[in-house]
Structure 1
């Protein structure tokens, strides 16, 4: 992942700048005017996103929607993120993006994005007011769940590995087993 704090003119990036980024398979996101550029993800990452998305979609209530990246969450002119997976209220959506915090944001770790997912994005989602933030490690399947407390701060509510289940209540009841998100890739050696 590459992080750039200013454009060539020395000013912070804005969401308008994102429209001029190349269509090159990379993900371009913005946190407080800093541009985050992520390379295309690998097989385990994509399998987890696909299986989790399908699993969540089958259990999603009618007034909510599940989206996978690239789908933008733009809460200001200096913040636009594309969680690997998100859940949003139908009433909050526009045709192009989500202009408010999602109910759930999920990031699946990649070697190039792990530090940002665990720190920078977590802090941004917390400031936005995302009620539940899930981080999934596809290498050694693990799900870590953070939820906002009464003070608006994330507290860790779950850390499950392999075949251990997590029974989520937010944004809707669903049971997640990290190993099942990899399907047959679970038994394949990590390169």
Structure 2
């Protein structure tokens, strides 16, 4: 006779609990389906890519005098996912309205449903995040109505620019010396080769 041992149910974390969560460590957490998921430490290359992208995007924003700001790894994005389950991601780079960034100065830096969705989010792929970046986040960011999502993949040496259309993302892939084509940044002069040469 086999005896089944019931596993204790995981405690679900609400979005409000997530915003207030502190565990005396430097660990960053994402909230996925009501569960705290620790983010792994990035490699130096990953950090160099995100820093470079933030600078390139901010330079373009300033050149065009746009009311936007690019931010590296410090802003969360609340995403709808499932029924009653909270999810909040922390993209590697977020481009958002400067006024809305100012509204987050004295509270948790998470773009909730009361704010506009980010204009662009960027995820830099690492071996531990590949499936999440290509699949789960693609669905979540589309559900949040984020107009543009870049998947920067140093493993495959390509950049995928995903543009929202009728609730789904259309994808164009760029590699080597291809100039990225971005509806949000139509004049941007940037190639995967330059992105990965950090």
C-alpha distance in structure 2 between counterparts of 1:145 and 1:22, whole Å: 36
Q: In the alignment, what sits opposite 1:54?
A: 55
* 2:119 matches 1:103: yes
Q: In the alignment, what sits opposite 1:4?
A: none
Q: In the alignment, what sits opposite 2:3?
A: none
Q: In the alignment, what sits opposite 1:81?
A: 89
Q: In the alignment, what sits opposite 2:5?
A: none
* 2:198 matches 1:181: no
Does structure 1 retain, via aligned residues, the 8 Å contact 2:79–2:140?
Answer: no
TM-score, normalised to structure 2, is: 0.78
C-alpha distance in structure 2 between counterparts of 1:104 and 1:23, whole Å: 31
Does structure 2 retain, via aligned residues, the 8 Å contact 1:38–1:113?
Answer: no
Which of structures 1 and 2 has the bigger CA Rg?
2
Alpha carbons of structure 1 residues 112 and 169: separation in structure 2 relative to 1, 3 Å: same
Q: In the alignment, what sits opposite 2:159?
A: 143
* 2:116 matches 1:115: no
Alpha carbons of structure 1 residues 22 and 102: separation in structure 2 relative to 1, 3 Å: same
Q: Structure 2: which 5+ runs fail to align?
A: 1-7
Higher strand share: 1
Deviation sequence 1:159-191 (CA, Å, 0-9, x none): 0112221132215642321111133x5xxxxxx
Q: In the alignment, what sits opposite 2:143?
A: 127
The Cα RMSD (Å) is 2.3
Does structure 1 retain, via aligned residues, the 8 Å contact 2:154–2:196?
Answer: yes
* 2:11 matches 1:11: yes
Q: CA deviation at 1:17?
A: 3.3
Alpha carbons of structure 1 residues 84 and 23: separation in structure 2 relative to 1, 3 Å: farther
Number of residues of Structure 1 aligned to a counterpart in Structure 2: 175
Does structure 2 retain, via aligned residues, the 8 Å contact 1:12–1:34?
Answer: yes
Q: CA deviation at 1:86?
A: 0.8
Q: CA deviation at 1:18?
A: 5.3
3-state DSSP class of the match of 2:181? Answer: strand
Q: In the alignment, what sits opposite 2:36?
A: 35
Alpha carbons of structure 1 residues 75 and 171: separation in structure 2 relative to 1, 3 Å: farther
TM-score, normalised to structure 1, is: 0.80
C-alpha distance in structure 1 between counterparts of 2:120 and 2:174, whole Å: 18
Greater shift after overlay, 60-69 or 24-33? 24-33
